[in-house]
Structure 1
Amino acid sequence: MRALSATTAPALAVCALALALLLTGCGHRAGLESAGRSPAAVGPVRLWPDLPPATSPPIDYGETDTARVPGIEVPGNDVHAVDPVAVLQAEVRAHGEDRSGADALYEETVRAIEGCGTDRARCPVLDPYYRDLTGNGRDELIVGVRMPEQQVAVRVYLAEHGGLTRIMSTADQVLSVEVAGRDLIMRASSAGIPGYEYRTAWSWDEQQGAMLPARDEIVRIKPPGAGTSVVPAPVFVSPSATSTPAPAPVPPEAGP
């Protein structure tokens, strides 16, 4: 091995020192640093643990009620082939006198539905919408019916075994009805709490075979003039495969 010259040895020493400082600095920057103490996890605390459990079930509001629509055939289990007016008329013929429960409709609404065949201008049945709300890969039929006192009845139908099963029925003074994913969301005004609205998300429950009000909440809304309308018109805001709103016109570009 050849000996280092007097000029080479100091240069190598400087390089080695620089490399050592570089490695030391990198190691320091890559080290773990404490972000401070984490907040302690707080689990649920049961209040009044000595209270005995209820011995009777709560009031049944009929959320899980389902019904087969009589006389309606669905070829290929395709709800697009079904006339929504015929569906409502079939239910009216079977339960037109009911004034409570899932089949309940106003007497005026029953008469108007029966007359839809001859007076479509006054027919209270809104345009249908189609969405896969059950996750079975097929669309369900969503129908709305205008009723007195600014109420809207909303019903959802599932096609199965060549027929039609109603899996949801409710009515309210709605602000809007929306579809988000597989949830049907109803927004209603809160008359008792100004500045707030009710929102109920109906979701498919496979065990019950029905749409259930899985989430119900009171939500604060923006006041008038804050960039949104407090009371929009009752309308289905989610477009369907057969009912797509026309695109908004594009304004002409301003001239020079």
Structure 2
Amino acid sequence: MRKPSPAPLLLAALLPLAAACGNTGGLASAGPTPTASGPVHLWPERRGAEVPPADPGGAPPEYVRGLPEVTGQNVHEVDPVALVQAELRAHPDISVGPDGMPEETAAAIRACGKAGQAPAACPVRQPYYRDLTGNGKDELVIGIELPDKMMSVRAYTADPDGRINRIMATTETVIGVELAGQDVILRVPSGNPGYELITAWSWDAKQRTMLPEREQIVRVPAGPAPQEASPSASAGAPGRP
């Protein structure tokens, strides 16, 4: 009796291996997918609470008086210290609200640039520039140091007539301030240990001002602090023509 050829036996043994190798890296079924279901409205017969209209939450736009007009909507022509001093003259002795300021801070601002005051003693920080409104022109962002780690953060734009218009003013206990795209980002303590509140202020074309449009509570990062931006890297250095 003739013995079977070893070739068919070897081929039969290799076929399962070939099939397995051919599927290497392919998609494998994860089993049946559960059917998606929409939200279910609980107690639909219940009359819900009425929500009053939202307060925009930002400071109304306000033209700064007592400053020379700029050309070509160029806010780089504005002296930031003179700008804040003009606001102090327009709103003297105000301790609360967008223009609220402790008297000792107001006195230090009035003395900025005068003989006998060290530059570091001026509460007005160096300015930053960024197109916040989307009109292709830079806006001016100013920070004013207040006691107890508080800061007044303000933003200004120039209208086609060259007038300076304040479009943002808020005072917070600030951890940090950042520019991201066309947003001014404020990081403040959230009140919960280990967490901070991040608020994004964005331009609102209808209100013609910056509004706090997004808020997020996040865990305080354990890594290194974010890299500090330089004024020259944020759409123009101070004094750029």
- 1:146 corresponds to which residue? 145
Helix, strand or coil at the partner of 2:175: strand
Please state if 1:183 is matched with 2:179: no
- 2:92 corresponds to which residue? 96
- 1:79 corresponds to which residue? 75
Q: Is the 8 A contact 1:199 1:218 kept in 2?
A: yes
Structure 1's unaligned 5+ residue stretches are 1-28, 244-256
Shift of 1:121: 3.5
Helix, strand or coil at the partner of 2:72: helix
Helix, strand or coil at the partner of 1:51: coil
Q: Could you tell me which amino acid in structure 1 is paired with residue 135 of structure 2?
A: N
Shift of 1:68: 0.8
Task: Indicate how the Cα distance of structure 1 residues 55 and 83 shifts in structure 2: closer, same or farther if over 3 A, else same.
Answer: same
- Mapping for residues 22-101 of structure 1, pairs under 5 Å: 37-46=32-41, 50-52=46-48, 54=50, 56-57=52-53, 60=55, 62-72=57-67, 73-101=69-97
Say which one has the larger Rg. Answer: 1
Deviation track 1:140-160 (CA, whole Å, cap 9, x = no partner) reads: 000001111111110000110
Shift of 1:217: 1.3
Task: Indicate how the Cα distance of structure 1 residues 126 and 237 shifts in structure 2: closer, same or farther if over 3 A, else same.
Answer: same
Helix, strand or coil at the partner of 1:77: coil
Determine which structure has greater relative contact order: mean sequence separation of CA pairs < 8 Å that are 6+ residues apart, divided by chain length.
2
Q: Is the 8 A contact 1:198 1:218 kept in 2?
A: yes
Question: In angstroms, what is the RMSD of aligned CA positions?
Answer: 2.9
Shift of 1:44: 4.7
CA distance in 2, matches of 1:206, 1:47: 38
| TM-score, with structure 2 as normaliser | 0.74
CA distance in 1, matches of 2:42, 2:89: 51
CA distance in 2, matches of 1:45, 1:70: 55
Q: Could you tell me which amino acid in structure 1 is paired with residue 127 of structure 2?
A: P
**Number of matched residues?**
206
Shift of 1:133: 0.9
Task: Indicate how the Cα distance of structure 1 residues 213 and 236 shifts in structure 2: closer, same or farther if over 3 A, else same.
Answer: farther
Please state if 1:114 is matched with 2:127: no
Task: Indicate how the Cα distance of structure 1 residues 193 and 90 shifts in structure 2: closer, same or farther if over 3 A, else same.
Answer: same
Comparing 151-160 with 104-113, greater Cα deviation is found at 104-113
Structure 2's unaligned 5+ residue stretches are 1-22
Shift of 1:54: 2.9
Q: Could you tell me which amino acid in structure 2 is paired with residue 174 of structure 1?
A: V
Identity of aligned residues (%): 49
Helix, strand or coil at the partner of 1:76: coil
Task: Indicate how the Cα distance of structure 1 residues 173 and 37 shifts in structure 2: closer, same or farther if over 3 A, else same.
Answer: same
| TM-score, with structure 1 as normaliser | 0.70
